Chains A and B, each alone.
Chain A
Amino acid sequence: MATLKAKLFLQASQFAELQALLGSSPSNFRWFDVQLPQAQATFPAVTVNQIGAPRMYVTNGRLSTYFARVQFTIYGSGNDSQNAAAVTAALEDFLAVFNATAVQNAPTYPNTIVGDKDFGIAATQPLTYMRVIDAMIFNDENA
């Protein structure tokens, strides 16, 4: 059984809209776990952090399904925020079809963006335009 972030990486790397922005080669898909590797020559890139995963309990134990809150940090390219916005749009489309459960072929999945904030790194020249997306993602740890 794959972890939520492994499911995210696998399905995101196969999603054409994200491939067009982040790279299509599996070894060169700029989608990283927690930390942006140093000297990434090309932006945009995305890092993924889990920032919450409250579990549900019933009388006989813990449910395998839960909503995890995941933060996507998007590092955009260029001299304005539009590239990061394009990655955000692709991520929204991806989350609508991302499936971390055993239920196959549903028309959509209950993954909801609950936070969407502009951000940036001022030390670089020019400013690194960024976007920070928080999403509630429905996961089944047994799937």
Chain B
Amino acid sequence: MNQNALTYPLQRYQSYAYNEGLYPSLGTLQQMVQDQGPTGNPTGNWQNVAGVVNIPCGDAPPSVARVQATEMKDVAEIMAKGLRHVLLNQCFLDAPNWAGQQSRFTVDGITYEVLGAENDSQLTQTRLDLQLVTL
């Protein structure tokens, strides 16, 4: 079967979803500036990645089946993880390189680490697995 035939209608649905307001959030990818501080530490300075700024996206929990229970109680401290599944309104071919310590993603003013990034088979969308850890 010629899969190219599937692409055109899928892209139509993409714009339909956007027009229906299914991407109400805005997301921006940031990369760590590669410099070091006085103790050899990463300085923690970030800059926006050109072309991935204020991208319309859907910001959802990773599962609709159950509430994510991610709080871990330890004797020393209590750690909570906030996990999000974000669907971008367009496809970024280099998205698989976004995961890792050098990237973070801001959705409506909240900054998350990028745990995973992948594109769909028709290259119409990029989806992200994001995490925010608090103590």
Q: Give residues in A with beta carbon < 8 Å to B.
A: 34-40, 47, 73, 75, 79-82, 121, 123-126, 128-129
Chain B interface secondary structure, helix, strand, loop or mixed? strand
> How many Å lie between the Cα of A38 and that of B80 in the bound state?
9
Q: How far is the CB of A117 from chain B (nearest CB, A)?
A: 14
Q: How far is the CB of A70 from chain B (nearest CB, A)?
A: 15
Chain A interface secondary structure, helix, strand, loop or mixed? loop
Contacts A38-B135, A79-B41 given; does A123 touch B79 at CB 8 Å = yes
Chain B interface residue number, banded: 20 to 34
> How many Å lie between the Cα of A25 and that of B41 in the bound state?
32
Contact of B76 among A35, A124, A129 (CB under 8 A): A35
Contact of A124 among B37, B75, B134 (CB under 8 A): B134
Contacts A79-B43, A128-B135 given; does A73 touch B38 at CB 8 Å = no
> How many Å lie between the Cα of A80 and that of B76 in the bound state?
21
The answer to whether A35 touches B77, judged by C-beta atoms less than 8 angstroms apart, is: yes
> How many Å lie between the Cα of A124 and that of B42 in the bound state?
14
Interface positions of B from 47 to 99, Cβ below 8 Å from A: 75-81
Contacts A34-B75, A36-B135 given; does A126 touch B42 at CB 8 Å = yes
> How many Å lie between the Cα of A75 and that of B79 in the bound state?
14
Q: How far is the CB of A64 from chain B (nearest CB, A)?
A: 29
Contacts of B39 in A (CB 8 A): 80-82
The answer to whether B134 touches A39, judged by C-beta atoms less than 8 angstroms apart, is: yes
The answer to whether A40 touches B41, judged by C-beta atoms less than 8 angstroms apart, is: no
The answer to whether A36 touches B76, judged by C-beta atoms less than 8 angstroms apart, is: yes
Contacts of B44 in A (CB 8 A): 79, 126
The answer to whether B38 touches A124, judged by C-beta atoms less than 8 angstroms apart, is: no
- For B78, give the chain A residue with the smallest CB separation: A38
